[in-house]
Amino acid sequence: SLTLATITNCENFGDVSAASNDSYSGGIVGLEYSYSTIKNTANCGNVTGKSRMGGIVGWSQSLVLDNDNLISNCANSGSVEGTSYVGGICGKGERTVVCYTNNGANVTGTTASTTGGIVGDSDENSTVKVNIATGTVEKGSSICGTSKGNLANNVYDMQRSKGKGLGTTDDEAGVAEGKKTSQLTGSALTGTIWTENFVTNDGYPIPKGTDSKIGSILASAAATFNASPEVEIYDSILND
């Protein structure tokens, strides 16, 4: 677990498997507790278990008013599989801000209402903004399975993900919006929020303001959809 700490410039290439019936596991952190930040990180390993599974964080929980946990500028390209509270970035978020992230991997959950391409379940004190999901969600929602908090400027590839942006709610521009692959790749989505892929001109966009170190990871996580990433992509972080 992570408490009163910051994780930055970190990457994981190993698979994570949780056997406990009431577990929480993530590619980077299982439990992110109060006063914690995770940024500029990437996970490429597959995450499997039962409840609260996430590509970056399994369960993010802050119990301190006005001191939200932060998950920012992160990328996931490892598949995530569980029963409930399953997310490409975060399985369950409580008083947590998830922003400027990219999930390019498969997300599979048994409970559709708490399975999402970015966050499985986001509570009323949480924020999910400026994220892009380009992987497949077999059963669940493309952005958040359940979200009771603030949402803004999230997009997903509707030709890869089978669910709507937010549960059974119709997509809403500027909140959670599905687009065709051709509407997301290249310079199609560039503007005030999104910039072109760091690696190629025909890849998916990434959020503006993203740290340059994580830029190629964010781009690559989408471009290598459901494929084994190359270690050398991350050399700039390891050697910086």
**Which band of pLDDT confidence, cut at 50, 70 and 90, is reported for residue 59?**
very high
Query: Model confidence at 200, in pLDDT bands (50, 70, 90)?
Result: very low
Across the chain, what does the average pLDDT equal?
A: 81
Question: What local confidence, expressed as pLDDT, does residue 197 receive?
Answer: 58
> What is residue 225's predicted lDDT score, i.e. its pLDDT?
38
- Among 95, 94, 85, which residue's Cα sits nearest to residue 116? 85
Q: How confident is the model at residue 30 (pLDDT cuts 50, 70, 90)?
A: very high
Determine the Cα–Cα distance for residues 104 and 102; give it in Å rounded to an integer. Answer: 6
Question: Tell me, what's the pLDDT at 224?
Answer: 46
What pLDDT does 151 receive? 93
Residues 6+ apart with CB under 8 A from 168: none
Closest CA to 70 of 50, 93, 88, 49: 93
Residue 139 is which amino acid? K
Tens of pLDDT, residues 121-169: 999 999 999 999 988 998 899 999 999 999 999 999 998 887 788 876 7
**Higher pLDDT among residues 164 and 119, named by residue:** 119
DSSP conformation letters of 73-113: EEEE-S-EEESEEEESSEEEEESEEEES-EE-S-EEES-GG
Q: Report the range of poorest mean pLDDT among 105-114, 142-151, 198-207.
A: 198-207
**pLDDT on residue 94:** 95
Q: How confident is the model at residue 228 (pLDDT cuts 50, 70, 90)?
A: very low
- Summarised one tens digit per residue, pLDDT across range 86-106 is 999 999 999 999 998 889 899
Give yes or no for residue 226 having a pLDDT over 50.
no
- 34 against 47, higher pLDDT: 47
Q: How confident is residue 234, by pLDDT bands cut at 50, 70 and 90?
A: very low
* Statement: residue 229 has pLDDT above 80: no
- Which pLDDT does position 84 carry in this prediction? 95
What is the per-residue pLDDT for 121?
Answer: 96
What element of type H or E holds 29?
A: strand 29-32
